[in-house]
Amino acid sequence: MPSDTAPRPVILTGDRTTGPLHLGHYVGSLRNRVALQATHAQYLLLADTQAMTDNAHDPERVRRNVLEVALDYLAVGIDPALSTICVQSALPALAELTLLYLNFVTVARLERNPTIKEEIQARGFGRDIPAGFLCYPVAQAADITAFKATLVPVGEDQAPLIEQTNELVRRLNRQAGRDLLPEAAALIPAIGRLPGVDGRGKMSKSRGNAVPLSASDAAIEAAVQRMYTDPDHLRASDPGRVEGNVVFTYLDAFDPDLQAVADLKAHYRRGGLGDMVLKRRLTGLLQATVTPIRERRAELARDPDLVMDILRTGSAKGRTLTEQTKREVTEGLGLFSL
Amino acid sequence: MPSDTAPRPVILTGDRTTGPLHLGHYVGSLRNRVALQATHAQYLLLADTQAMTDNAHDPERVRRNVLEVALDYLAVGIDPALSTICVQSALPALAELTLLYLNFVTVARLERNPTIKEEIQARGFGRDIPAGFLCYPVAQAADITAFKATLVPVGEDQAPLIEQTNELVRRLNRQAGRDLLPEAAALIPAIGRLPGVDGRGKMSKSRGNAVPLSASDAAIEAAVQRMYTDPDHLRASDPGRVEGNVVFTYLDAFDPDLQAVADLKAHYRRGGLGDMVLKRRLTGLLQATVTPIRERRAELARDPDLVMDILRTGSAKGRTLTEQTKREVTEGLGLFSL
C-alpha cells in the first residue's frame, strides 16, 4: 500500500477506438480501473493510432470511436481527477519512440511474437500483413515506457507483448549503461473477459454477442433470454450443468452475494431449478449495473465539449510526460537534440 | 523556369548523419544543391533518425555527425537564406506520418523493394534485419510527402524508393478522394557518385578510398598519387586507356576546360602522355576546389553556436511545414484531431 508521500505505481491501459465498449470490457477491465485509480497513477490511452494498424481502410470508424470510448470511460466512473485520459495520436513522442525502438528489434523477432501470430491468423491477413500491424508491439512498448508504467493490465494471451517491451527496455538500458526505463509487469485480472451471450468465444461487438454499456433494460432482458445455458437441461426438475453455462459465468461476475450464487449452483446441479429463475435474477443484476452507466453516458453525450475538454487536459498532461521520457531516452542513448 | 510569383518547385534531399561528406558527395549531390537553391524551394534533411536504422549500436556516431554534415553543407555554399536545413529528429510529424503510412504498406511489399534487398545484403544483416531498416522506405515517403516535395535527387539505384513513395501517395489520395499529396519525381544527377581513388566502387569513407571535404593540400596530392589509372600504361610513350581510368573520371567531373580534357584523352590514347602530367593537373584542380571549402569549414567549426542557430531556425521552419501536412493528411483521411 503506497503511503501518501511515496509515488504511486504507474499503470498504463487503454483501448483501441474501434467501437463502444460493452459488458465484457466492464468485467474484464473497466471495473478494475475504477478501483485502481484510487491507489495508482493511472493513464488511459484512447488508442486511435494503434486502431489504424488493422483499420486503415476505415479511419472514420477509428475517429468516431475516440469519443464513444471516452464516454464509456467516464460513464463507468473513471474520474479525470484521478485517472489521466489521453488520445494516443495527440502524443507525438509515442510515434518518435516507436520509430527509435524499431531499430532495436529484428523483423524475425516480431514475426515470432505469439500474440501477433495468432492475431494475424484471426484477422485473415495472410501474406498481406500491414507493416504497421507487425510493428504494433513496438508501438505498445513505446506507449508503456513513455509513461514509465510498471503495471500493464492485459489478458493472459497478451503477456508476450509485455515480454517484448521488457526485452526492449533491457536492451536500451544496457546500451545506455544505466536504468533509463523501468520494466513492466503484466497485471492479469482475476476475472477475464466475459463470454458472449451465445457462449461462443469472448463477448465481441463484431460477433454480435455483446451487451453494450448503453443497452436498454429491454435489450438486456432480450440478451439474457437468448443466453446459452445447459442444452441438456430440458425441464426444471432435471439436474443441470454449471460449467460452461453462460448464465452462471455472468452471475459469478456480477452477483455480489457469493453465498446465494453457490446455493443456486448446488440447487441447479441437483435439479429443481429452472433457467428462468436464474435469468430473471441475472437480468435484474445487469440492469442494475448498466442503468446508471447508460444514464450517465447519455447525459455526457449531450455535452461533447466537456468530454473534449477532459481529453485535451489529459492529453496535455500525457504530452508533457511522454515528451520528457523521449528526451531522457534520446539523451541517455547519446542522440542529437536541438 | 518559374516566374517570380509562381511557387518554386520543392526539392527534398539530405544525408544520413553517419560521417563527414567527401568529394564523392560534392560531385554527386552537393554541387547540384548549391545550383538548385537559386531556383527551387530546397529542404535539406540531416537524417539522424534514418541513420539510426543501421547504426542503432552507435548513436554517438549519428549524433556527432549531425554537426559535421551541417558544416559540410555550409562550407560548400548551401545558403541558409535560400535552402532550409532541418534536423530530422527535430520534426515529430515525420515520425507520426511514418507510423500512419506503415498501415498502408504490407510487409511483403517492403521485402520486395529492390533497394532494400540490396542494402540488406550489403550490410550483412542476414536474418537479423532491424525492423526500422525494413521500414525506412516508408519513413522516406513520410519525409518526401511531409515537405510536399515533387523532386527528389537520388542515385539511379534508389529510384525504387521514389516509386514506393508514389504508391503510398496514390493509395492515400484514393482513400481521401482528392489529391492530398503530390507525387514526386526522381532527379537523377548527370554525373553520379565518383569512384573511390582506388577505382573500386563508389567513393566511401568506410572503404578508405575517400577524399574528405576537409582534406589538406598534401592529403589531396597523396590521394591523387595513389589513384588508379591504366595498369598497362607502363611508360609515357605507351598508348593508354581512358575508360575506367579514375584520373580521367575525375577530370571529367572537375575540369571546367572540356576541350582541354578532350585533347588530353586523345593524347593519352595515342601515347606520349605520362600519368604524372594528368595527376598534377588533377591535383591542382582538386586543391582549388577543396581549399575554399576546407577554409570555410574550419572557420564555421570555430562557431558551433552559429551553426546550431541555423539548424534551429531551419528545423523550426520545417516543423511548421511538416506539422501542417500531417494535419492535412489526418483530416483528409478523416482521423481524429484534438
Residue A329 burial class via C-beta count within 10 angstroms: exposed 0-12, middle 13-18, buried 19 and up: buried
Nearest to A107 among B49, B63, B129 (CB): B129
pLDDT at A52: 98
Q: Nearest chain A Cα to B332, which residue?
A: A59
User: In the Cβ-directed half-sphere of A174, how many Cα atoms lie within 13 Å?
Assistant: 9
State the complex-level ipTM. 0.94
pLDDT at B307: 98
* Confidence band, pLDDT 50/70/90 cuts, at residue A206: confident
Residue-wise pLDDT for B155-195, tens only, equals 888 889 999 999 999 999 999 999 999 999 999 887 777 89
Q: Using the structure block, give the residue that is written with the C-alpha cell 429463475.
A: A277
Task: Flag whether pLDDT at A1 surpasses 70.
Answer: no
Nearest to A103 among B100, B130, B315 (CB): B130
Residue B246 grid cell:
579514375
pLDDT at A127: 77
Task: Flag whether pLDDT at B3 surpasses 80.
Answer: no
Q: Using the structure block, give the residue that is written with the C-alpha cell 507483448.
A: A161
Q: To the nearest whole angstrom, how far is the Cα of A58 from the nearest Cα of chain B?
A: 9
Q: To the nearest whole angstrom, how far is the Cα of B304 from the nearest Cα of chain A?
A: 12
Preferred mutation among B18, B107, B311 to probe A, highest tally of A CBs within 10 A: B107
Q: To the nearest whole angstrom, how far is the Cα of A337 from the nearest Cα of chain B?
A: 7
B107 and A308 in contact by Cβ < 8 A? no
Q: To the nearest whole angstrom, how far is the Cα of A163 from the nearest Cα of chain B?
A: 17
Chain A window 116-145: which residues touch B at a Cβ cutoff of 8 Å? 127-135, 138-139
B92 and A95 in contact by Cβ < 8 A? yes
State whether residue B106 sits within 8 Å of chain A by CB.
yes
Nearest to B96 among A92, A130, A338 (CB): A92
Task: Flag whether pLDDT at B2 surpasses 70.
Answer: no
Residue ranges covered by each domain of chain B: 10-194+304-332, 217-298
pLDDT at B226: 92
Residue-wise pLDDT for A211-255, tens only, equals 999 999 999 999 999 999 999 998 999 999 999 999 999 999 999
Chain B residues whose CB is inside 8 A of the A95 CB are 92, 95-96, 98-99
Q: Let me know: does B71 contact B40? Beta carbons within 8 Å.
A: no
User: In the Cβ-directed half-sphere of B301, how many Cα atoms lie within 13 Å?
Assistant: 16
What mean pLDDT is reported for chain B? 94
pLDDT at A156: 80
* Confidence band, pLDDT 50/70/90 cuts, at residue A149: very high
Residue B121 burial class via C-beta count within 10 angstroms: exposed 0-12, middle 13-18, buried 19 and up: exposed
* Confidence band, pLDDT 50/70/90 cuts, at residue B123: confident
Residue-wise pLDDT for B308-334, tens only, equals 999 999 999 999 999 999 999 999 999
B131 and A107 in contact by Cβ < 8 A? yes
Task: Flag whether pLDDT at A11 surpasses 90.
Answer: yes
Looking at the domain A10-194+304-332, which fold is it?
Rossmann fold (3.40.50)
Q: Let me know: does B127 contact A106? Beta carbons within 8 Å.
A: yes
Segment B255-278 mean pLDDT:
96
Chain B residues whose CB is inside 8 A of the A330 CB are 89
Task: Flag whether pLDDT at B7 surpasses 90.
Answer: no
Q: Let me know: does A330 contact A99? Beta carbons within 8 Å.
A: no
B217-298 under CATH 1.20.1740.10, yes or no: no
Q: Using the structure block, give the residue that is written with the C-alpha cell 574550419.
A: B298
Q: To the nearest whole angstrom, how far is the Cα of B59 from the nearest Cα of chain A?
A: 6
State whether residue A312 sits within 8 Å of chain B by CB.
yes
E strand or H helix that includes residue B186: strand B185-187
**Residues B204-228 as b or e (16 or more Cβ within 10 Å = b):** eeeeebbbbbbbeeeebbebbeebb
Q: Alpha-carbon distance A39 to A10, whole Å?
A: 10
Chain A window 45-74: which residues touch B at a Cβ cutoff of 8 Å? 48-49, 52-53, 56-57, 59-60, 62-63, 66
Using only C-alpha atoms, chain B has a radius of gyration, in whole angstroms, of 22
Residues 6+ apart with CB under 8 A from A143: A12, A14, A45, A47, A88, A94
Chain B residues whose CB is inside 8 A of the A102 CB are 53, 130-132, 135
Q: Alpha-carbon distance A97 to A323, whole Å?
A: 10
Chain A window 169-228: which residues touch B at a Cβ cutoff of 8 Å? 175
Segment A47-57 mean pLDDT:
97
**Residues A88-109 as b or e (16 or more Cβ within 10 Å = b):** bbbbbbbbbbbbbbbbbbbbeb
pLDDT at B291: 97
Using only C-alpha atoms, chain A has a radius of gyration, in whole angstroms, of 22
Task: Flag whether pLDDT at B4 surpasses 80.
Answer: no
Residues 6+ apart with CB under 8 A from B29: B13, B15, B153, B189
Q: Let me know: does A12 contact A149? Beta carbons within 8 Å.
A: yes
Residue-wise pLDDT for A101-128, tens only, equals 999 999 999 999 888 888 888 888 877 8
Residue B123 grid cell:
550490410
Segment B79-86 mean pLDDT:
98
Output the pTM of the full model.
0.94
Residue B46 three-state SS: strand
Q: Nearest chain B Cα to A110, which residue?
A: B131
Q: Among B16-25, B72-81, B116-125, which is the least confidently predicted range?
A: B116-125
Segment B205-222 mean pLDDT:
93
Segment A42-67 mean pLDDT:
97
pLDDT at A118: 87
What mean pLDDT is reported for chain A? 94
Q: Nearest chain B Cα to A53, which residue?
A: B103
Q: Let me know: does B137 contact B113? Beta carbons within 8 Å.
A: yes
Segment A186-192 mean pLDDT:
83
